[in-house]
């Protein structure tokens, strides 16, 4: 009778040990699944974030490369001694998004001084009703502002409160060079940019002639 009891007791202990090992293994297995699930969730979330950032960066880069302004030509108004007004003709680059000139500025230098000009809605006209230099009142412009005159605007997107230019639009930016540089004399190198909020800047670069024979002078190209 004692031998039978000892055998039964050993069998019960062996069974208990196997059961305990099985439960422990199951707990470890479940814990591994939970850890793997959490890790997978973090990886997926990180991948989604990186994908979104990559898309946004790609769109911004594409907009920076494909959009912008170009200066088609620059004319000056001379009083016989100096050029006291500049008319800068601009258009958007091919395939460009629309550009709001409210956020665009002109950087201009006569080799001795440099000015930064921002758009002012007080000097605006939606057409050249009285000629290139007679339509806008340049005396209202300072050494920090430029005016705007619309030449072509098929969809009427460009206004004093919302000066937006897009494909096929052409506008003139008027600068009072007397206020900026006390006038521009002969044989003067002038350079700068029309800088939009995003995209390519329009280049301004010309040298004034040796004499001012005409009142309106084509300076660029």
Structure tokens at 207: 């040298």
The pLDDT value recorded for residue 45 is 74
Instruction: Return d(Cα 154, Cα 101) in angstroms, integer.
Output: 17
Q: List phi, psi (to 5°) of 80.
A: 100, -25
10-residue mean pLDDT profile of the chain (221 residues): values are 50 53 70 75 72 61 70 95 96 89 95 95 93 94 96 92 92 96 95 92 95 94 85
Longest pairwise C-alpha distance within the chain: 135
pLDDT attached to residue 170: 95
Please give the Cα distance from 46 to 33 (Å, whole number).
20
pLDDT for residue 41? 73
pTM, two decimals, is 0.72
For the chain, give every domain's residue range. 1-66, 68-220
Q: Determine the pLDDT at residue 153.
A: 92
Strand segments, DSSP code E, in the chain are 69-78, 83-92, 99-100, 105-109, 114-125, 145-152, 164-165, 170-176, 189-195, 202-207, 216-220
Helix (H, G, I), strand (E, B) or coil at 26: helix
Sort strands 83-92 and 99-100 into parallel, antiparallel or unpaired. Answer: unpaired
């Amino acid at each position: 009778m004692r031998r039978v009891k000892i055998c039964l007791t050993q069998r019960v202990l062996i069974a208990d040990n196997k059961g305990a090992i099985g439960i422990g293994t199951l707990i470890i297995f479940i814990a591994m699944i939970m850890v793997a699930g959490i890790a997978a969730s973090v990886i997926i979330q990180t991948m989604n974030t990186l994908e979104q950032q990559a898309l946004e960066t790609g769109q911004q880069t594409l907009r920076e490369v494909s959009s912008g302004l170009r200066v088609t030509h620059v004319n000056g108004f001379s009083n016989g001694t100096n050029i006291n007004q500049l008319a800068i003709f601009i258009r958007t680059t091919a395939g460009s998004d629309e550009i709001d000139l409210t956020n665009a500025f002109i950087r201009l230098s006569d080799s001795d001084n440099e000015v930064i000009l921002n758009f002012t809605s007080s000097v605006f006209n939606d057409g050249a009703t009285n000629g290139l230099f007679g339509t806008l009142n340049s005396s209202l412009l300072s050494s920090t502002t430029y005016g705007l005159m619309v030449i072509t605007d098929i969809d009427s997107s460009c206004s004093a409160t919302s000066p937006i230019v897009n494909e096929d639009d052409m506008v003139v930016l008027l600068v009072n060079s007397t206020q900026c540089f006390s006038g521009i004399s002969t044989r003067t190198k002038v350079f700068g940019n029309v800088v939009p909020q995003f995209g390519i800047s329009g280049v301004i670069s010309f040298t004034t002639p040796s004499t001012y024979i005409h009142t309106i002078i084509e300076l660029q190209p």
